[in-house]
């Protein structure tokens, strides 16, 4: 029954598009693909397989007492880039009795942005937020917009679905959301990542055999592989505008991009969790890992070490190469790292039976999976373990020959705040986009912040400080997810320096953006609705919901520096603090996560949407019918 209907959908889709031939634009795009590659310093084998290189004379590993020299020098350059953009942002906010040029003359304000996990929902919501913050988005700097916040930020952190967003933007040379949304070579979400050829079934078969070949090369070179290798290759095809998803493209190649070298992009960071085989993790005992263009490792006391990302794959013992002339490079494949952060989705590759994939395609896809154990299938295997023998007394993980990492959200810290609250980074304010699915209807309830808050009180917190937040019932009951909420507004109420958190939860501003984390296909209008909702969240409906939002965001940005100077906030900024800061109260009633069903805030937009939806209903009726039948 199911099989027949699926075939029917494919056939119907085929009828509709059979006449389409590649346009000139499409062909020129295909020719242009790979353009970035020619300019980069890539994997030594020019493929997915890591290759032998001579070990560097400098040390490959260091302890995590500070940020790296490379990061420090990037941050210095980025701050120079940020300054005029931040002045511009603050000037546009029209703060009373405030001269941004003067205020910033002797001050440095470091802003971080964090994008949570949550599959494509998180990617698309986050994309709307990022587009709103990006001054390159048309009209983002007028009409109450917050364009320029991205250009004013020093750090950019992503996890799982949030990292699909970050990876898409960063790896494609810091492109814009507009470009990603409009480019058929990337973000083609109408076709599932498991069936990218759509009705052109042979394209999908070809796709699977390319995945198999890429990964086979790595395995034959002697590296243990895991499902994440295939998952990462699949993600690369969807997110990176390179032929075959750029199998030779590494995460450390980011540092060779023009947009990185010119400090045009913030410093990107990716979060994953350590999880030994057959164990469970919670935020209170997971070793959290970060990847950045220079390094990967953990600030946690269980490791407290960072390894040079470029030499991942090398055989190291206590941080020293076992054979000086036999280091490896090219292991830190960009898709592999994006896949590590989102390894939760590995399971999808194992659920082909229920994914509607059949016949020759099913055979090709299952060929990918033979030989992979289904236990611990969310694990990304890093072989050899770069931290082997680093400090075996601290954890048996450093006695293992393989390092095993999982999706960064598996310890419930689904907003990647970890790299941003490290004292070594000294961030002043974090703009946190939370698109988690905590409630029954896939809305966030602040549990990610609660997890990060609690972690500071156990030894693994290692000196990190995070502001007080209420329990999750209060997040819902007090409406802290229905409008932007700030945490840690009063430094005097904190035990040590900690950033101010500007928390922005997923909420139906103009669109019901609570799609399932595991929804793997989005129509064009769904993509547009999700992105617009994120944009409306970040701008509060271009100021229509809260006309003080733009100036209040400026107040949040300068707040820590104002406190450092020991002066009182202006009356305008004080009003913002009174309005947006969580005041320490908790909710006395009960809200169960099953009951929590917010309604759209921007009625006019919702009404317009409904009308548009009605208008298109007729046109797509047949397609919709087919979709329902196969569900
Ligand atoms: C700032 O002032 C300019 C010029 O008076 C005005 O056009 C703009 O709307 C104001 N912006 C805000 C956020 O109040
Ligand atoms: C802000 O201060 C700078 C530097 O002192 C000065 O050149 C500029 O004219 C001031 N801007 C305004 C609007 O007063
Ligand atoms: C910046 O610092 C210098 C040296 O401490 C001082 O002379 C100057 O007045 C300060 N500028 C502002 C705008 O505070
Ligand atoms: C920008 O805003 C102007 C004026 O509201 C409008 O005419 C124009 O179409 C907008 N541009 C884009 C790309 O949205
Ligand atoms: C990458 O971005 C930079 C900065 O926007 C630009 O100068 C450069 O030409 C871009 N490179 C490619 C290959 O598009
Ligand atoms: C972490 O804590 C959980 C719950 O207490 C426990 O089941 C698990 O084994 C612990 N994991 C590790 C790696 O210690
Ligand atoms: C070190 O690696 C090189 C290059 O692969 C190899 O020729 C050499 O035999 C190795 N040395 C040892 C001691 O294993
Ligand atoms: C790791 O191995 C070393 C050497 O065999 C041993 O002394 C140490 O106790 C082990 N550490 C853990 C945490 O099991
Ligand atoms: C705000 O502006 C964006 C981009 O111009 C637009 O897509 C969105 O619909 C606007 N929101 C409202 C509530 O007008
Ligand atoms: C201030 O700190 C206390 C003690 O940590 C905490 O209970 C309270 O919620 C904090 N208030 C705010 C507004 O963060
Ligand atoms: C909760 O109850 C306490 C004590 O009865 C009261 O002081 C507080 O105002 C109540 N808070 C809310 C948000 O209702
Ligand atoms: C601030 C702080 O407590 N840092 C500690 C983190 O863990 C390492 C390794 O145990 C210690 O050396 C640091 O002092």
- Residue 107's contacts (CB-CB under 8 Å, 6 or more residues apart) are 561
Q: Is the bond leading into 384 cis (omega within 30 degrees of zero)?
A: yes
Task: State in Å, rounded, how far the first CA of the chain is from the last one.
Answer: 11
Query: Ligand 5 centre and the CA of 333: distance in Å?
Result: 21
Strand 500-505 to strand 429-434: parallel, antiparallel, or no bridges (unpaired)? parallel
- Distance between CA atoms of 153 and 173, rounded to whole angstroms? 17
- Please compute the mean of the pLDDT values over residues 441-448 and round it to a whole number: 97
Query: Ligand 10 centre and the CA of 584: distance in Å?
Result: 6
Considering every ligand atom shown, identify the ligand nearest to the alpha carbon of residue 542 and give its number: 9
Q: Could you report the per-residue pLDDT of 262-302, keeping only the tens digit for each?
A: 999 999 999 999 998 888 888 788 999 999 999 999 999 99
Considering only CA atoms, which residue is closest to atom 2 of ligand 4?
A: 139
Per-residue pLDDT at 372 exceeds 70: no
Report, in this order, helix, strand and coil percent for the chain, each rounded to 5: 40, 10, 45
Considering only CA atoms, which residue is closest to atom 2 of ligand 1?
A: 94
Query: For residues 560 and 429, is the Cβ–Cβ distance under 8 A?
Result: yes
Give pLDDT, residue 618.
34
Structural tokens at position 431: 């703009």
- Residue 148's contacts (CB-CB under 8 Å, 6 or more residues apart) are 85, 86, 88, 89, 92, 133, 135, 140, 141
Q: Could you report the per-residue pLDDT of 94-150, keeping only the tens digit for each?
A: 999 999 999 999 999 999 999 999 999 999 999 999 999 999 999 999 989 999 999
- Please compute the mean of the pLDDT values over residues 443-458 and round it to a whole number: 97
Q: What single DSSP character describes residue 250?
A: B
* Cβ of 66 below 6 Å from ligand 10: no
Half-sphere CA count of 152, side-chain side, radius 13 A: 27
Among residues 444, 511, 501, the alpha carbon closest in space to that of 476 is found at 444
Of 66, 301, 391, the one to substitute when testing ligand 12's pocket (max ligand atoms within 8 A of C-beta) is 301
Query: Ligand 1 centre and the CA of 554: distance in Å?
Result: 13
- Distance between CA atoms of 146 and 129, rounded to whole angstroms? 10
Q: Could you report the per-residue pLDDT of 53-94, keeping only the tens digit for each?
A: 999 999 999 999 999 999 999 999 999 999 999 999 999 999
DSSP of 439-491 = STTS---SHHHHHHHHHTTSGGGTT--------HHHHHHTTTTTS-EEE---G
Among residues 279, 334, 283, the alpha carbon closest in space to that of 312 is found at 334
* Cβ of 532 below 6 Å from ligand 9: yes
Query: Ligand 10 centre and the CA of 582: distance in Å?
Result: 10
Q: How confident is the model at residue 349 (pLDDT cuts 50, 70, 90)?
A: low
Structural tokens at position 558: 């300068």
Q: Which of 168-172, 366-370, 539-543, 625-629 has the lowest mean pLDDT?
A: 625-629
Considering only CA atoms, which residue is closest to atom 6 of ligand 11?
A: 588
- Distance between CA atoms of 282 and 411, rounded to whole angstroms? 4
Query: Ligand 11 centre and the CA of 589: distance in Å?
Result: 9
Q: Where are the domains of the chain?
A: 6-48+84-629
Number of Cβ within 10 Å of residue 107's Cβ equals 16
Q: Which of 171-175, 567-571, 595-599 has the lowest mean pLDDT?
A: 595-599
Query: Ligand 9 centre and the CA of 51: distance in Å?
Result: 49
Per-residue pLDDT at 517 exceeds 50: yes
Lining residues, ligand 11, CB within 6 Å? 585, 587-588
Among residues 415, 472, 482, the alpha carbon closest in space to that of 593 is found at 472
* Cβ of 392 below 6 Å from ligand 8: yes
* Cβ of 105 below 6 Å from ligand 3: yes
Structural tokens at position 629: 């039948």
Query: Ligand 5 centre and the CA of 259: distance in Å?
Result: 6
Q: Could you report the per-residue pLDDT of 179-196, keeping only the tens digit for each?
A: 999 887 889 888 878 777
Q: Quote the distance between the C-alpha of residue 516 and its chain's center.
A: 17
Query: Which sign, positive or negative, has the C-alpha torsion 582, 584, 585, 590?
Result: positive
Q: Which range among 18-22, 24-28, 266-270, 378-382 has the greatest average pLDDT?
A: 266-270
Work out the percent of the chain whose per-residue pLDDT is above 70.
Answer: 83
- Distance between CA atoms of 49 and 46, rounded to whole angstroms? 8
Considering only CA atoms, which residue is closest to atom 5 of ligand 5?
A: 259
Among residues 152, 150, 141, 154, the alpha carbon closest in space to that of 94 is found at 141
Three-state secondary-structure class, residue 290: strand
* Cβ of 592 below 6 Å from ligand 10: no
Query: For residues 515 and 490, is the Cβ–Cβ distance under 8 A?
Result: no
| CATH superfamily, with its number, for domain 6-48+84-629 | Cytosolic phospholipase A2 catalytic domain (3.40.1090.10)
* Cβ of 236 below 6 Å from ligand 1: no
Q: Could you report the per-residue pLDDT of 220-262, keeping only the tens digit for each?
A: 999 998 889 988 998 999 999 888 888 999 999 999 999 999 9
- Give the per-residue SS3 of 104-132: HHCCCCCEEEEECCCHHHHHHHHHHHHHH
- Give the per-residue SS3 of 524-590: HHHHHHHHHHHHHHHHCCCCCCCCCHHHHHHHHHHHHHHHHCCCCCCHHHHHHHHHHECCCCCCCCC
List phi, psi (to 5°) of 321: -60, 135
Lining residues, ligand 7, CB within 6 Å? 52, 323, 325-326
Query: Ligand 6 centre and the CA of 217: distance in Å?
Result: 35
Name the strand (E) or helix (H) holding 307: strand 305-308
Considering every ligand atom shown, identify the ligand nearest to the alpha carbon of residue 388 and give its number: 8
Considering every ligand atom shown, identify the ligand nearest to the alpha carbon of residue 276 and give its number: 6
Considering every ligand atom shown, identify the ligand nearest to the alpha carbon of residue 90 and give its number: 1
- Give the E-state strand segments of 378-481 in sequence order: 380-382, 403-407, 429-434
Structural tokens at position 496: 């040590």
Q: How confident is the model at residue 616 (pLDDT cuts 50, 70, 90)?
A: very low
Lining residues, ligand 4, CB within 6 Å? 138-139
Q: What single DSSP character describes residue 54?
A: P
Give pLDDT, residue 355.
53
Q: Where are the alpha helices (DSSP H) in 370-406?
A: none
């Amino acid at each position: 029954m199911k099989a027949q209907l699926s075939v029917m959908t494919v056939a119907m889709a085929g009828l509709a598009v059979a006449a389409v031939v590649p346009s000139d634009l499409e062909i020129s795009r295909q020719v242009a693909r790979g353009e970035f590659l020619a300019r980069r310093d890539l994997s030594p084998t020019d493929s997915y397989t890591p290759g032998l290189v001579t070990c560097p004379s400098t040390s490959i590993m260091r302890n995590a007492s500070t940020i790296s020299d490379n990061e420090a020098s990037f941050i210095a350059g980025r701050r120079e880039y940020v300054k005029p953009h931040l002045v511009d942002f603050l000037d546009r906010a029209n703060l009373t009795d405030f001269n941004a040029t003067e205020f910033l003359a002797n001050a440095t304000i470091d802003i971080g942005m964090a994008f949570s996990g949550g599959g494509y929902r998180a990617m698309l919501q986050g994309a709307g937020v990022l587009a709103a913050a990006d001054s390159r988005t048309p009209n983002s700097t007028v009409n109450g917009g917050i364009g320029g916040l991205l250009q004013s930020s020093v750090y950019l952190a992503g996890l799982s679905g949030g990292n699909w967003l970050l990876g898409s933007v960063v790896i494609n040379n810091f492109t814009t959301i507009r470009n990603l949304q409009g480019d058929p070579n990337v973000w083609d979400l109408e076709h599932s990542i498991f069936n990218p050829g759509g009705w052109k079934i042979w394209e999908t078969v070809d796709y699977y055999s390319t995945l198999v070949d890429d990964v086979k090369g790595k395995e034959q070179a002697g590296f243990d592989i895991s499902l994440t290798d295939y998952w990462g290759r699949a993600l690369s095809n969807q997110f990176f505008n390179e032929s075959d998803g750029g199998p030779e493209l590494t995460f450390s190649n980011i540092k060779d991009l023009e947009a990185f070298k010119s400090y045009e992009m913030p410093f990107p960071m990716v979060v994953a969790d350590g999880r030994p085989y057959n164990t469970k993790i919670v935020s209170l005992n997971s070793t959290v890992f970060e990847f950045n263009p220079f390094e990967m490792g953990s600030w946690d006391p269980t490791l407290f070490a960072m390894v040079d990302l470029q030499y991942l794959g090398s055989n190291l013992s206590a941080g020293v190469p076992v054979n000086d002339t036999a280091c490896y490079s090219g292991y830190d494949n960009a898709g592999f790292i994006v896949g590590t952060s989102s390894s939760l989705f590995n399971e999808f590759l194992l659920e082909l039976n229920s994914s509607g994939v059949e016949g020759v395609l099913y055979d090709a896809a299952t060929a990918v999976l033979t030989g992979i154990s289904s236990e611990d299938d969310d694990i990304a295997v890093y072989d050899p373990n770069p931290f082997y023998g680093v400090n075996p007394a601290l954890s048996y993980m450093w006695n293992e020959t393989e390092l095993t990492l999982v999706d960064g959200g598996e310890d419930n810290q689904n907003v990647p705040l970890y790299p941003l609250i490290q004292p070594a980074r000294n961030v002043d304010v974090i703009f946190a986009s939370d698109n988690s699915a905590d409630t029954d209807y896939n809305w966030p309830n602040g549990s990610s912040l609660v997890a990060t808050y609690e972690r500071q009180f156990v030894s693994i917190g290692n000196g990190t400080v995070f502001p007080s937040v209420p329990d999750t019932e209060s997040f819902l009951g007090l409406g802290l997810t229905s409008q932007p909420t700030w945490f840690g507004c009063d430094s005097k109420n904190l035990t040590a320096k900690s950033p101010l958190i500007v928390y922005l939860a997923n909420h139906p501003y103009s669109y019901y953006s609570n799609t399932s984390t595991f929804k793997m296909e989005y129509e064009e209008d769904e993509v547009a609705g999700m992105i617009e909702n994120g944009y409306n969240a970040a701008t509060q409906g271009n100021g229509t919901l809260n006309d003080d939002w733009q100036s209040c965001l400026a107040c949040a940005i300068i707040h820590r520096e104002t406190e450092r100077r020991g002066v009182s906030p202006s009356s305008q900024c004080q009003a913002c603090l009174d309005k947006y800061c969580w005041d320490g109260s908790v909710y006395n009633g009960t809200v169960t996560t099953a009951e929590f069903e917010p309604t759209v805030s921007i009625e006019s937009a919702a009404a317009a949407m409904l009308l548009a939806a009605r208008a298109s209903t007729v046109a797509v009726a047949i397609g919709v019918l087919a979709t329902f039948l196969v569900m």
